[in-house]
Structure 1
């Protein structure tokens, strides 16, 4: 049951995050101080968290681990991926809509057809690229379409149907298809089957992503301002989830424990985006580096 819920969430939670990263990167190609933003918001946090996560895992596992800055550990792969995507913004903004999406999808398919080196998690960087490019292309009018009442209802029903499907397919479908980090050969399937599965996974992910965005409230709520601190939740929640992964009981929970754990995760995410947490960890997540630049 826990595995099905995890696969369901993984099918769209990172795609939604990456679409929004693309959306808010639309002005990156024209912004001043781009290098400073990349260093302060991506490079420094990556070096800090990738090293700390390795040390933290050493403590949990009781064994020595080697830190390699070119081999992102755990969830830190997202930071070099975001760096690569943002550096590519000027290219995508020069291409027309169908060509940009077509090229991004071709690259996404290439990532499954060949076994890429593990350096900087190249497979995930290329596999999630279409969602970033989509975010660059989307405008306010597109999100306005998702706010229509009928679309919102359809989005809610789609998410329910997706959750049911995830539980129905729990024992017959490899969750790696929605993690986007393995080639067809590594998943043990040939190119024809791999292409078919990958296309189906992309279609399901796209539908669930649109459904989730459709049910997001259009008006400002008490949690709207928390969205600006989503990177805090992303980088800090791993310390809790990594700790749980080393507890034997974590993979045996069932019944009422699953919704209880889910509620706990929601509360954790909210807490990690609050002002007190931001003040404590700003030096690591959003370091001020005025002293570094001229």
Structure 2
């Protein structure tokens, strides 16, 4: 099946926003403008990323499929959990110690992604509408249990699962409906209204968007389910709005869309160093633009072929990129020798 550039373009935009969001996070407190930008990004960037992951999920449950998933997701998780723990110690990060079952920073996504694939084996057997409704109900209920938190990424797994499930059930034709002119016009209103609301409304705890805290921790032990339902609605509207503006045609950068997991796992080494060393500061709008440019450069560098070749053994447990590069070089040298 021919690869649709739209999905790779969407992944590029989203992985840039992941990096940029992590880059500006230290500057959110005390700045209403930075807080607005940060919260605005976080309302949709992970839900959209997860929806796309669900769209490409096969939903198989046989032994070979599960073993292959474990190699792609669990093994890199274990490797990078150890690497990040050691790295945090080296750079002097205060909370560097973590058990294997308490994901370091962004590594929760790997455990949750594996869990979503496992859950899909059962949920795909239920009619789509009912399946999503059940997943939403579970996502609302788990917030009432403080025991379901960051360990094993349980809270985020259940909270974000509805987006993965929608991605699995939705068709390419349905997704492309967001490109309609009417939706694009309405999306501008949605995005601007949300930005204004975040700026002027009382401060909202970012925990509502991260999905890892209980309602009691977020200050709404009784009515947290209603608040999370509102978060689901906002996230859905924003995912539709952002996706409506993603280019459909192939560009010079479209190929990066197939390498976003590398960027996701590797960018933390840079972000955490920047934070611990207090490298950057924001004093005006140009500083924000500068951090955006640095974020874009990080995406380009971390998705480059040379870096992919070096890190592929850690990420995928194989070294096909380096082998192919070496064999290609050897063949070229052999041809030149014969000539």
Question: One fold, TM greater than 0.5?
Answer: yes
| 1:167 corresponds to | 199
Q: Which runs of 5+ in 1 are unaligned?
A: none
Cα displacement string for residues 48-86 of structure 1 (whole angstroms, at most 9, x for unaligned residues): 111111111111226684342111111111111111111
How far apart are the structure 1 equivalents of 2:192 and 2:253?
A: 23
Tell me, yes or no, if structure 1 residue 190 matches structure 2 residue 204.
no
Shift of 1:123: 0.9
Closer, same or farther in 2 for the Cα pair 1:61/1:259, shift >3 Å?
Answer: same
| TM-score when normalising by structure 2 | 0.78
Q: Do the aligned residues in 1 keep the contact of 2:54 with 2:165 (CA within 8 Å)?
A: yes
Q: Do the aligned residues in 2 keep the contact of 1:10 with 1:178 (CA within 8 Å)?
A: yes
Closer, same or farther in 2 for the Cα pair 1:285/1:67, shift >3 Å?
Answer: same
How large is the Cα RMSD of the aligned pairs? 2.3
Q: Do the aligned residues in 2 keep the contact of 1:54 with 1:73 (CA within 8 Å)?
A: yes
How far apart are the structure 1 equivalents of 2:95 and 2:46?
A: 30
Question: Which of 73, 85, 89 is equivalent to 1:58?
Answer: 89
Moved more, 256-265 or 42-51: 256-265
| 2:238 corresponds to | 208
Tell me, yes or no, if structure 1 residue 44 matches structure 2 residue 75.
yes
If you compute each CA radius of gyration, which structure gives the higher value, 1 or 2? 2
| 1:148 corresponds to | 180
Q: Do the aligned residues in 2 keep the contact of 1:40 with 1:289 (CA within 8 Å)?
A: no
Cα displacement string for residues 6-25 of structure 1 (whole angstroms, at most 9, x for unaligned residues): 22111111111100110000
Closer, same or farther in 2 for the Cα pair 1:161/1:280, shift >3 Å?
Answer: farther
Shift of 1:251: 6.2
How far apart are the structure 2 equivalents of 1:105 and 1:63?
A: 36
Alignment of 1:9-20 (within 5 A): 9-20=41-52
Shift of 1:92: 1.6
Question: Which of 299, 304, 310 is equivalent to 1:269?
Answer: 299
Alignment of 1:25-104 (within 5 A): 25=57, 27-29=58-60, 33-61=64-92, 65-104=96-135
How far apart are the structure 2 equivalents of 1:237 and 1:127?
A: 24
How far apart are the structure 1 equivalents of 2:262 and 2:228?
A: 31
| 2:276 corresponds to | 246
| TM-score when normalising by structure 1 | 0.89
How far apart are the structure 2 equivalents of 1:211 and 1:64?
A: 37
| 2:34 corresponds to | 2
| 1:288 corresponds to | 318
Shift of 1:156: 4.2
Cα displacement string for residues 232-261 of structure 1 (whole angstroms, at most 9, x for unaligned residues): 111011112212222446465443211221
Closer, same or farther in 2 for the Cα pair 1:139/1:31, shift >3 Å?
Answer: farther
Closer, same or farther in 2 for the Cα pair 1:155/1:31, shift >3 Å?
Answer: farther
Closer, same or farther in 2 for the Cα pair 1:200/1:284, shift >3 Å?
Answer: same
| 2:3 corresponds to | none
How far apart are the structure 1 equivalents of 2:63 and 2:249?
A: 31
